[in-house]
Structure 1
Amino acid sequence: MLLFIGIENWMSYREPYGFSMMATPSETYSSHLSLITGERRVLPMGILFGGNASGKSNFLDAIAYLRGLVLGHFSPEDSLPFLLDKEKRQAATNFQIDFLCREKLMRYQLSINRERVLHEALYELDQDLNVEAMVFHRLEDEIVGSVSLSAEALTTATEYLDCDNSDHLLLRQLIVDSAQAECAYTWFNECLSVQNSRFSNDERFDLMDSLSEKPQLLDLINKLLPLLDNGIDHFEIDPQNKKQLVAIHHDSNGDELRFPLRQEASGVRNLLEILPPLILSLDDEVSEAHIMVIDEWDRNLHSLLSLELLNFFLEQRRPEARTQLIVSSHDLNLLNREMFRSDELWITERLSDGSSTLLPLSDFGALEEEDLDYRQLYLEGRLGGVPNLNAFILSDWPQDSEE
């Protein structure tokens, strides 16, 4: 499970901001929460709202980039610091992520510039999320601390850093010699997935690959179709091309027609991107610890369908499971206190200097007490995160002069 991620000097996030999946003391929808070590409660869902270019995608990109960096898909050279400030362009980009892997609480910290790794550390945490044991602590090309690495592993790691690997992560190098490093790497690789990000590099949920590995997934998708009201009777694999899916319709005479997916609405195609990971994340046989991150969750989806799919996730998810869903959205129907907790709803806002802020609704303490309408407050601008339309008034545009 993802417990916390903090970023600084990443894209539009000039200052440090943190995103926590640890539940506040509120008892609202407490049955949805997961209990972990120390009876701590963890949220199943997080939803980011905000105007265009306010920082929603940039924040989710940070998760995708960090995952790709750990797995070796990217390097520090690919990092994107805050470019609108001369000092920040040259400063370090910092990440911290706390997570639960195999019921172990862990923290990974990373500081980079576009040339090298400046700082990297992996810790085990106690039940209060304080550092209990240091797995390793690296400053540039030197290991300055470790309590769990064997002498042989420490020697191997030191030799690795001495061989001009300043832009490579030590975490990935230690997965053979350190059980904790292997656990952390596996969490990034197998438990975390990010869709629709410019840094996505995750093919685990390719539709046809998923259907090939788990044929019953198609049956589950077809069972959901009547709820989606899209005119499709069912999907099936094209008998002429086993690598393609076709949608089955019926004409006015009841005769069966096969439509290739390219002829279906973009919303249907988007559904087929969302449903496989959504269903598989709830499948006990696949994963009890899957964290799915999706940018632009509601892309091409009707508002009611978007809401119903999130409700499906919450209703089908077992409280003892470790699955989580983190999405961004423009759909204000999701700012819904009848379904979500205030600590599950986050607002991004772009400031006058071009930087972004990120805050949960739970930081606005009066919301819970006064039973206020989140959507109305948001539209009134009282929560931030709404676009500034003052400069976009059509009536003020110059008109062609009359001859």
Structure 2
Amino acid sequence: MLVAFTVENWKSYHESTTLSMVADRSRRHADTLASPKYYKGLHILPIAAFYGGNAAGKTNLLDALRFVQEFVSHGYQDAMSIPVEPFVSGAEDDGTVSFSVQMLVEQPKGSFCPARGIQPELIYQLDFDVTRMGVTYESLSWYDSKQQAHTLYTRDEYGEVEFSDEMVAKLDEKTANLLGAIAVGTGPRRLFLTNAAGQGQRVFLPVYEWFQNVLRNASTSMKSARVTDFMDDAKYSEQFGRIMHALGTGVDRIELERIDVEALPQELQPVVQGLTSQIDGDAMMQFMGSDTRYGDPSIRIYTVQLQNGAPIVRRVQTYRNGKAFGLYRESSGTRRLLEILPVFFDLWLHANRVWTLDEVEREFHTDMTKELLQGFLDGCTADTRTQVLLSTHDLMLMDQDIFRKDEIIIVERNAAGESTLNAIGDYAGIRNDLDLRRSYLDGRFGGKPSIDSTEFKEAIDVCSEEK
């Protein structure tokens, strides 16, 4: 789980800004809070909902997490420029962007454990500074049961890695020498953590795998291959249909329907041939395309697999009242729901995931969005380790019957273009029966779009005059 995330000099975040997922003392929805046994008294929020005007910085914050996930997982080749986006101001800027991620990490049996006894999970903190040219600072720490930080290693602007005495004392000579060699061979555009995991060193593997496997991003343009992966399983395909029907889409069944390769539009047949050469074993690959033969630009989802060396093509098909209807004929909201269902399956099944989800309500009715999120929150307990960080403009969700006060984050951008974060729980005098929507619209929490009605009316009048 994400415990805290700090970013500085990234896009609209100029000053050091921290998102804390540590719950306050409120007892509202306390049964949904994660409570690691090793850290007595620590409770972690399962959800954070970001509100604010357009261009306030909600997406920028989620983009920062996406960048961190990709950079830690892969890094960049030495000849490539790192795609960091520093805050743009009139002053000279050195272009250094700083990130700090504090996370609760599962410790698999047999893995390196810096704590005295074997613990099933520990809190780690990864800090790094990066420019377009390379990493200028990196450190990894862990937290003990009293939430005191212990440094494992640091890396300076020259690429020199120094291991703490505490860390060295826990390593055998062979491992220590190997880590030293990996440190020397780490390029400027890659973290030492990333290189160590890539070289097969298992000491920091649980931390690396948290970034690679746990932290996930679902963009607004997501075309998830996991949709067809799920649908290839009859159990999940049936479940998809039941969920979509229950949510009022009119779809009562959805499945992968086999079609002849020759029946595909002419322009898609080379796509199938190209994918066929890439398929390994019984793997399934997904592609998308439209049927322009009939002037239909609507996108269809197809899959390709091999059977006895020949390609088997199927397409996603929806059914209404027992009859084939076609995904391409469904509303944009229904198609969006299908794309995003694998994310919510992770949430409902409480997989060990931290999902970031931008504009969760896009193309959804409020009731549908509420049902999707409530299905997740209803299953959260002290022992679950699933989270979702989402941005939204849907004020009907700003409800204390759904969220805790500290789970609602107001994002605001000042006149200098700098974004800030403020949890509603940080404001004094917020009663449990307070109408948060009314208070937000009245401007109590900030985060409203800065609209100049007089200027807007004048602009409209000018347009009318020109016409």
Pair 1:109 & 2:132 matched: no
In structure 1, what is the equivalent of residue 83 of structure 2? 78
Q: 1:148 aligns with which of 152, 160, 167?
A: 167
Equivalent residues of 2:355, 2:389 under 8 A apart: yes
Change (3 A) 1:197 1:163: farther
In structure 1, what is the equivalent of residue 409 of structure 2? 346
Structure of greater Rg: 2
In structure 1, what is the equivalent of residue 140 of structure 2? 122
Q: 2:348 aligns with which of 276, 282, 291?
A: 282
SS of the residue corresponding to residue 71 of structure 2 reads: helix
CA displacement 1:254-311 (0-9 Å, x = unmatched): xx43233222111111111221121133336xx3x21111111111111111111111
Distance in 2 between residues matched to 1:225 and 1:195, nearest whole Å? 20
- Between 389-398 and 316-325, report the one with greater CA deviation: 389-398
Distance in 2 between residues matched to 1:382 and 1:347, nearest whole Å? 11
Pair 1:35 & 2:65 matched: no
Pair 1:313 & 2:376 matched: yes
TM-score of the aligned structures, taking structure 1 as reference length: 0.89
Pair 1:207 & 2:224 matched: no
Change (3 A) 1:323 1:159: same
Q: Give the drift of 1:101.
A: 1.2
In structure 2, what is the equivalent of residue 245 of structure 1? 316
Pairs within 5 Å for 1:157-236: 157-163=179-185, 165-175=187-197, 179-196=202-219, 206-212=226-232, 214-236=233-255
Q: 2:103 aligns with which of 85, 99, 104?
A: 99
Pair 1:66 & 2:68 matched: yes
Which AA in structure 2 matches 1:304? D
Query: Any gaps of 5 or more consecutive residues in structure 1?
Result: 251-255
SS of the residue corresponding to residue 370 of structure 2 reads: helix
Change (3 A) 1:119 1:73: closer
Pair 1:138 & 2:143 matched: no
Equivalent residues of 1:31, 1:319 under 8 A apart: yes
Distance in 1 between residues matched to 2:251 and 2:466, nearest whole Å? 53
In structure 2, what is the equivalent of residue 269 of structure 1? 335
SS of the residue corresponding to residue 111 of structure 1 reads: strand
Task: Figure out how many residues of one structure are paired with residues of the other and give that number.
Answer: 388
In structure 2, what is the equivalent of residue 253 of structure 1? none
Q: Give the drift of 1:220.
A: 2.2
Which AA in structure 1 matches 2:59? S
Q: Give the drift of 1:219.
A: 2.4
CA displacement 1:219-275 (0-9 Å, x = unmatched): 22222223311111221111326542111013xxxxx43233222111111111221
Change (3 A) 1:373 1:258: same
- Between 4-13 and 378-387, report the one with greater CA deviation: 378-387
Equivalent residues of 2:220, 2:359 under 8 A apart: no
Which AA in structure 2 matches 1:196? S
- Between 26-35 and 234-243, report the one with greater CA deviation: 234-243
TM-score of the aligned structures, taking structure 2 as reference length: 0.77
Distance in 2 between residues matched to 1:221 and 1:272, nearest whole Å? 8
Change (3 A) 1:402 1:50: closer
Equivalent residues of 1:64, 1:197 under 8 A apart: no
Which AA in structure 2 matches 1:86? A
In structure 2, what is the equivalent of residue 377 of structure 1? 439
SS of the residue corresponding to residue 430 of structure 2 reads: helix
Q: 2:392 aligns with which of 329, 340, 346?
A: 329
Q: Give the drift of 1:79.
A: 0.7
Distance in 2 between residues matched to 1:80 and 1:402, nearest whole Å? 40
Q: Give the drift of 1:5.
A: 0.6
In structure 1, what is the equivalent of residue 426 of structure 2? 363
Distance in 2 between residues matched to 1:266 and 1:20, nearest whole Å? 34
Which AA in structure 2 matches 1:116? G
Change (3 A) 1:244 1:138: same
SS of the residue corresponding to residue 310 of structure 1 reads: helix
CA RMSD in angstroms, aligned pairs only: 2.5
Which AA in structure 1 matches 2:250? G
Which AA in structure 1 matches 2:56? S
Distance in 2 between residues matched to 1:23 and 1:258, nearest whole Å? 48
Distance in 1 between residues matched to 2:220 and 2:444, nearest whole Å? 29
In structure 1, what is the equivalent of residue 272 of structure 2? none
SS of the residue corresponding to residue 383 of structure 1 reads: coil
CA displacement 1:151-178 (0-9 Å, x = unmatched): 4444444444545711111001222565
Distance in 1 between residues matched to 2:320 and 2:408, nearest whole Å? 38
In structure 2, what is the equivalent of residue 48 of structure 1? 50
CA displacement 1:58-111 (0-9 Å, x = unmatched): 0000110000001116576211110224333x1421111111111121111111
Which AA in structure 2 matches 1:11? K
SS of the residue corresponding to residue 25 of structure 1 reads: coil
Equivalent residues of 2:347, 2:376 under 8 A apart: no
SS of the residue corresponding to residue 78 of structure 1 reads: coil
Change (3 A) 1:292 1:160: same
Which AA in structure 1 matches 2:384? A
Change (3 A) 1:344 1:243: farther
Query: Any gaps of 5 or more consecutive residues in structure 2?
Result: 107-120, 260-301, 303-312
Equivalent residues of 1:11, 1:81 under 8 A apart: yes
Distance in 2 between residues matched to 1:76 and 1:109, nearest whole Å? 20
